[in-house]
Amino acid sequence: MMPGVTLPPVRPLGPEDWATLARVRLTALAEAPEAFYSTLAAEEHRGEAEWRAGATTASWFAALDADGAPAGLVAVVHGGPPPGDAMLISMWVAPARRGSGLTADLVATALDDAARMGAERLTLWVRTGNARAIAAYQRMGFAVQDPPPDAHDYRWEGELFMAREVATGG
């Protein structure tokens, strides 16, 4: 964490926040196209109804700077596979916020959401070339593992599967 830096709060985004979700997601896709399986071109033409529907397929969380500029985004998909797993997706932190501690706040929010929904593990895929992200996830307790047999396997695209237990209870 950067000394003296105030981090923006991480807040949930529901269907009523579709415009914020769209703005932050499109910013992320434009800034770091290599980090996502979707593209700006694939999502920039989505309408309100599609953004609202997308906000219901996962638990979405965003951080916005005081001026409303997108600072970070993360989502959690619940229900496995396998049962008991939740998956962290769409992780992004604005370049100016990298190294500030916002990544840890976003991941902590994802872990809290996974625990609230009864998940046993939080999993994610990360590109093998993204050493900074891999190191950050490892600091937060994630470890590289073999993916479960029924998980979509991204290794052929240069991905590592990482997972950690979700703390439950006090």
CB within 8 A of 65, min separation 6: which ones?
8, 71, 94, 97
Give 31-54 pLDDT, tens digit per residue.
998 888 889 999 999 999 999 999
Across 50-72, average pLDDT: 96
Q: How much is the pLDDT for 169?
A: 54
Alpha-carbon distance 133 to 101, whole Å? 13
Give me the chain's average pLDDT, please. Answer: 91
Q: Supply the pLDDT for residue 144.
A: 96
Query: Residues 162, 126: contact at Cβ < 8 Å?
Result: yes
Cα–Cα distance, 121 to 104 (Å, whole number): 17
Tell whether the model's pLDDT for residue 96 goes beyond 70. Answer: yes
Phi, then psi, of 149 in degrees rounded to 5? -55, -30
* Residues 69-84, mean pLDDT to the nearest whole number: 93
Residue 3 token pair? 């000394």
Mean pLDDT of the region 111-138: 94
Question: pLDDT value at position 135?
Answer: 96
Burial class of residue 110, CB neighbours in 10 A (0-12, 13-18, 19+): buried
% of residues, the chain, pLDDT over 90 = 77
- Check pLDDT > 80 for residue 1: no
Counting beta carbons within 10 angstroms of the beta carbon of residue 148, is it exposed (0 to 12), middle (13 to 18) or buried (19 or more)? middle
Check whether 125 has a pLDDT greater than 70.
yes
From the list 144, 122, 82, 116, the residue with the least C-alpha distance to 12 is 116
pTM summary value:
0.92
pLDDT at 138 over 60: yes
- Cα Rg of the chain, angstroms: 15
In this predicted structure, the answer to whether residue 154 has a pLDDT above a threshold of 90 is: no
